[in-house]
A and B are shown apart, each in its own frame.
Chain A
């Protein structure tokens, strides 16, 4: 035991000595950079996520305004109110509706909340009488005939306390400025302007019941929650039940955001894997040689492995303080950036989590480095006699690394389809680059065989070094693909979306119109020469069960589809496949079909939710439960308008379902016709319309945010791509140097070597570029369509221009980084 400890100590000392000796070697420097980037990224990301999660939990405690809430689209029946009252200590009803509020020729889409006289239930309702005045606590909400506006609405309409405003021809006096509602959890993160009135006024306004969101604030003992939950599931299955012991409604949303970022981090891991693979090629020979020397001096095989592992641990451990410090700074910046969405979010370091992240990332690094240690197992003294170096690193190990990465990728992302597409595009790119490498080098060598000049020689040499060259081309190609894809996403997302909206949707979208409203709009459009591009009918439905299992029982993985299904969705009906849809599976129903309980589900939803043809879905529609069987799946087909629905059913179903019908429509309203819209909003304040201006404003904000995020991310990719290129050069530097010396021994000079080097990089970059551009095109084709329901309209001139810049950079970096290998001489060959 003593001997073992002693030898471990000796080995550690030896490892430390080697670590210090190798510290300034290029491959060690590249390894440090790769590991540092990944560590900092993962630490900053996990810390920021944890801070947001913690914030959301605290937020749930402080902003629910009650012990629990029940909310749904219908008011509770008297019987339900009585039942509920029996189970809780106190209950306050609130109602909320989105309307277009107009005043003195200005208009604004606002959220109007109506509260009962016993509001608020818990927490503070704060108001003020001027923008910069002190907030004071109000014990009740507005009285009948009064209205309170929030600061932004107040400022944008230039109102004064005491002013009279009108909503649906009913007058209200503006009495207070609304500063804080204690139950704003559900709306806390939207950007709509807000107003509050008394609940009795809401009744007088006579809005359609189905347009109002009803919410009941409850106080109760936590022991009563399970009973109440059971009652809600039995009586109000379509209602949403939130309580302080449960999850924040935004928690799932945030988790999904995290997972998307997780997918992005997988791209970084891929890059790191390529870089480490290239770096380890050089490490492998060095460590194997050292291990063989140790063995020739009587040491066991383990000595070499232990020294290598301890040395690797030193390199990682000494990186950790720096990574932690940098991650803390980035974490602070991210928190600072997120305070716009999550007010009062605080910077906080989560120690346990940072340890977990460090362990996880270290494990991944170790996994990438495993081939080096594995090779030491196969090391022998014979290695010293046989100078041959193992250039063909084990294909099995490479495959294992790829498989581990794919598993990590699939496990990390919530959106299996998106991940599969990205990973799929990457795999196709890899195969394509390998195939292209083989094809170009083989054909290049054959076709240039009878030509003179340096090109045939370069093809000949590259073909002879096919394996090592393919790895280098692969590294460069994948880096170019990932970089190009990221940049393209940033560039095209905005362009494609705005083009698409303008092409097919007109400049005004009506997202919800009742039949009465639609008839009026049609007449209004006809009278004023406004063009209605398209309109489609739908009804609201809440998915509650899949094959007799609740949604929570069906799947616990968050996804876009799952998040949407937690709210009501729209069901469209028809007898024919819409012209902007394509049938993918099953059969579309016939017009005379007696079976009305069948539906078609959009393909991505089907995949996301793990559904199949023949599955039974139960919906609550207008308080009644209806079962449908999935008989087909469809997807969006561009070119005939963008209004499409996830779920569609036969028209015959309408005779069995009693529910309100709504329509979505898109209109083209010219600049001159814009003032005519005021008439529409005065007539129907609840008509949900969004103009192109609003759309683009929302979109521009979104794009600005995406641009910031992707720019930062691109910088990381560029950094890693440079490391991959440098690592791939470093891996073969000794061979290249020798090759150049040998060429010079044939009577050539350095200029010839430089020319050969440039031609070689040009061919490398060309093959890599072809792979990258096809991979990017494929990824765009798959992901744009499926994730954004948009036709991928690649801007080839932009794509090629960007690629050209990447290529020039790659060649320049390649030639610049290879300068050391050009600095060779025949004397070196003599000295060896």
Chain B
């Protein structure tokens, strides 16, 4: 992504999400506003059940909010265009807590997968490059069950970034790893996203990981609170709802 192009961004305006369970309406969050800019990193923290994953699904355009509006402002050489979040699909990648690699494919083939699907003839070469970037140049031909948890997550990061998405959504990316591996993965994840000029939106319980992000939010039943901004200032309270 060329640096002179204004970064694309996702904007959530007055978003609410609720669902009905046993005839009772359960509200996850209400009137939430948030902007996610390409090239920056975001961490969303908060207690279980607060709706962090739902927020991730809304941001990625995979689920519809109960009310409010989500927009995707796409910038490229032709200029800026506004789309609904449905059009975000081609520009997003995911990283999961359970890695979700395909067990029958080698690390290399797992990473090449999204490129193959897009008909990229250079899929294998690009995948090799990406695996080298995450430090797995010697483990390319290993199957997932021959790799440690940290190594599997590195493959998953390489796979999520290889097709150059503008936004990466990560659900507890270090939740399944020990302290050392988690720190490694956090560094790799953030630096790779930075290198690729992709936005990284992480849902996490890990304070260590969250601290590495440029923006940190806390989602609770009281709403979304920004705890840290891009300048690294720890904010006291900024109610975004």
Please determine whether chains A and B interact with each other in the same assembly: yes
Q: Interface of A with B (CB < 8 Å)?
A: 386-389, 391, 449-454, 456-457, 460, 464-465, 468, 738-739, 741-743, 745-749, 752, 825-827, 829-830, 832
Min distance, Cβ A745 to any Cβ of chain B, angstroms: 4
Interface contact A746-B104, CB-CB below 8 Å:
no
Asked if B49 is at the interface (CB within 8 A of a chain A CB), the reply is no
User: Is there an interface contact between A464 and B117, defined as CB atoms closer than 8 Å?
Assistant: no
Q: Which chain A positions have C-beta within 8 A of B96?
A: 745, 829-830, 832
Sample (15) of A-B pairs whose CB atoms are under 8 Å apart: A387-B145, A391-B103, A452-B118, A456-B119, A464-B102, A743-B117, A745-B93, A745-B100, A746-B93, A746-B113, A747-B92, A747-B163, A829-B96, A830-B96, A832-B98
- Within the complex, which residue of A449, A749, A829, A830 is in contact with B89, where a contact is CB–CB below 8 Å? A749
- Tell me, yes or no, whether B140 is within 8 Å of chain A by CB: no
Chain A residue numbers with a CB within 8 Å of B98 are 829, 832
Min Cβ gap B218→A in Å is 20
Determine whether the beta carbon of B102 is less than 8 Å from that of A739. yes
B121 CB within 8 Å of chain A = yes
**Chain B residues with Cβ under 8 A from A388's Cβ?**
103, 145
- Given the complex of chains A and B, what is the CA–CA distance between A37 and B211 in angstroms? 63
Closest Cβ neighbor of A749 among chain B residues: B89
The answer for the CA separation of A675 and B94 in the assembled complex, in Å, is 89
Evaluate contact between A468 and B104: CB separation under 8 angstroms. Answer: yes
CB distance from A407 to the nearest CB of B (A): 34
B82 within 8 A of A: no
**Cα(A829)–Cα(B102), bound, Å:** 12
B114 within 8 Å of A by Cβ?
yes
10 pairs of A and B residues whose beta carbons are closest in the complex: A452-B119, A746-B114, A388-B145, A745-B94, A830-B171, A747-B90, A457-B116, A747-B89, A832-B98, A457-B117
A748 to B103 alpha-carbon distance, docked (Å) = 20
Give Cα A452 to B114, complex, Å: 12
Q: Report if B17 contacts A (CB, 8 A).
A: no
Q: Report yes or no: A464 in contact with B119, Cβ–Cβ below 8 A.
A: no
Closest to A386 in B: B145
Among B63, B93, B104, B118, chain A packs the most CB atoms within 10 A around the CB of B104
A460 to B119, CA, bound (A): 11
> In the complex, what residues of A have CB within 8 A of residue B102's CB?
464, 738-739, 742
Given A460-B109, A468-B104, 8 extra CB contacts under 8 A: A452-B120, A452-B121, A742-B102, A742-B113, A745-B93, A746-B117, A747-B165, A826-B57
A758 to B148, CA, bound (A): 35
Q: Is B27 an interface residue (CB 8 A)?
A: no
A825 to B63 Cα, complex, angstroms: 10
Contacts of A752 in B (CB 8 A): 117
Query: Bound state CA distance, A832 and B165, in angstroms?
Result: 24
Interface residues on B, range: 20 to 34
Report the minimum CB–CB distance from B21 to chain A (whole Å): 16
Enumerate chain A residues within 8 angstroms of B240, measured Cβ to Cβ. none
User: Do B121 and A450 touch across chains, with their CB atoms under 8 A apart?
Assistant: yes
Known contacts A825-B62, A830-B53: does B103 contact A453 (CB below 8 Å)? no
Once bound together, how far apart are the Cα atoms of A748 and B116, in whole Å? 12
Question: How many Å from the CB of B58 to the closest CB on chain A?
Answer: 11
Q: How far is the CB of B235 from chain A (nearest CB, A)?
A: 28
Q: Which residues of B are in contact with A by a Cβ distance under 8 Å? A: 53, 56-57, 60, 62-63, 89-94, 96-98, 100, 102-105, 109, 113-114, 116-121, 145, 160, 163, 165, 171
Pair A829/B104 contact, Cβ less than 8 Å = no
Instruction: Tell whether A451 pairs with B119 under 8 Å between CB atoms, given A391-B103, A826-B57.
Output: yes
Q: Are A464 and B105 in contact (CB under 8 A)?
A: yes
Cα A386 to Cα B148 with chains together (Å)? 11
What are the residues of chain B within 8 A of A739 when measuring CB–CB? 102
Contacts of A738 in B (CB 8 A): 100, 102
Q: Is the pair B92, A464 in contact by a Cβ cutoff of 8 Å?
A: no
Give CA–CA (A391, B145) in the complex, Å: 12
B91 touches A456 (CB 8 A): no
Contacts of A391 in B (CB 8 A): 103-104
Report B-chain residues with C-beta under 8 Å of the C-beta of A825.
62
A contact residues around B113 at 8 Å (CB): 742, 746
Known interface pairs A451-B119, A453-B119, A468-B104; A746-B163 also in contact (CB < 8 Å): yes
Of B53, B90, B100, which one neighbours A742 at CB under 8 angstroms? Answer: B100
**Smallest CB–CB gap between A586 and chain B, Å?**
55
- Complex Cα distance, B121 from A457, in Å, reads 11
Residue in B closest to A739 when the chains form the complex, CB atoms: B102
Query: Please, how many angstroms separate the alpha-carbon atoms of A746 and B165 in the complex?
Result: 9
Chain A residues in 8 Å Cβ range of B92: 747
Given A391-B104, A827-B57: A449 touches B91 (CB 8 Å cut-off): no
A441 to chain B, nearest CB (A): 13
Is A747's CB under 8 angstroms from B93's CB?
A: yes
Is A464 within 8 A of B89, CB to CB? no
Structural contact, B105 and A826, CB atoms closer than 8 A: no
Q: Provide the residues of chain B in CB contact with A748, threshold 8 Å.
A: 89, 117
The reply to whether A827 and B62 contact each other, CB–CB distance below 8 Å, is: yes
CB-CB nearest in chain B for A825 = B62
CA distance A743 to B102 in the complex (A): 11
- Which residues of the partner chain B approach A468 to less than 8 Å between Cβ atoms? 104
Bound-complex Cα distance A388 to B102 (A): 11
B62, A456: Cβ atoms under 8 Å? no
> Could you tell me the distance between the alpha carbons of A487 and B235 in the complex, rounded to whole angstroms?
78
Contacting pair A460 B114 (CB below 8 A): no
Provide the residues of chain B in CB contact with A465, threshold 8 Å: 104
Q: Which of B92, B97, B103 lies at the interface centre, i.e. has the most chain A CB atoms within 10 A of its CB?
A: B103
Q: What distance in Å separates the Cβ of B175 from its nearest Cβ neighbour in chain A? A: 11
B145 CB contacts on chain A under 8 angstroms: 386-388
Docked complex Cα distance between A388 and B53 (Å): 27
Interface centre among B57, B105, B119, B121 (most CB of A within 10 A): B119
Smallest Cβ-Cβ distance to A745: which chain B residue: B94
For residue B121, give the distance in angstroms from its CB to the closest CB of chain A. Answer: 5
A259 to B103 alpha-carbon distance, docked (Å): 47
Instruction: Give the complex CA separation of A821 and B165 in angstroms.
Output: 26
A466 — nearest CB in chain B belongs to which residue?
Answer: B104
User: When chains A and B are docked, how far (Å) is the Cα of A624 from the Cα of B118?
Assistant: 86
Taking A747-B91, A829-B98 as contacts, is the C-beta distance between A389 and B119 under 8 angstroms?
no
CB neighbours of B89 from chain A (8 A): 747-749
Min CB gap A280→B, angstroms = 19
**With A746-B114, A747-B91 as contacts: A829 and B62 at CB distance below 8 Å:** no
Q: Which of B90, B109, B120, B171 contacts A464 (CB 8 A)?
A: B109
- Chain B residues whose C-beta falls within 8 Å of the C-beta of A830 in the assembled complex: 53, 56-57, 96-97, 171
Note all chain B residues with C-beta closer than 8 A to A746: 93, 113-114, 117, 163
CB-CB < 8 A to B63: which residues of A?
Answer: 827
Within the assembled complex, what's the spacing in Å between the Cα atoms of A62 and B147?
79
Q: Please, which residues of chain A bring their CB within 8 A of the CB of B165?
A: 747
Question: Which residues of the partner chain B approach A827 to less than 8 Å between Cβ atoms?
Answer: 53, 57, 62-63
Which residues on A sit within 8 Å (CB–CB) of B93? 745-747
Shortest Cβ distance from residue B61 to the other chain A in the assembled complex, whole angstroms: 10
Given contacts A457-B117, A748-B117, A830-B171, contact A464 B91 (CB under 8 A): no
Complex Cα distance, B113 from A738, in Å, reads 14
Nearest-CB residue, chain B, relative to A831: B53
The distance in angstroms between the C-alpha atoms of A183 and B37, with both chains bound, is 102
Measured between alpha carbons, how far is A464 from B63 in the docked complex, in Å? 32
Contact B100 A832 (CB under 8 A): yes
B44 to A: closest C-beta gap in Å = 13
Q: Residue on A with the closest CB to B56? A: A830
Q: How far is the CB of A384 from chain B (nearest CB, A)?
A: 14
Q: Kindly state the separation between the CA atoms of A739 and B118 in the bound complex, as whole angstroms.
A: 16
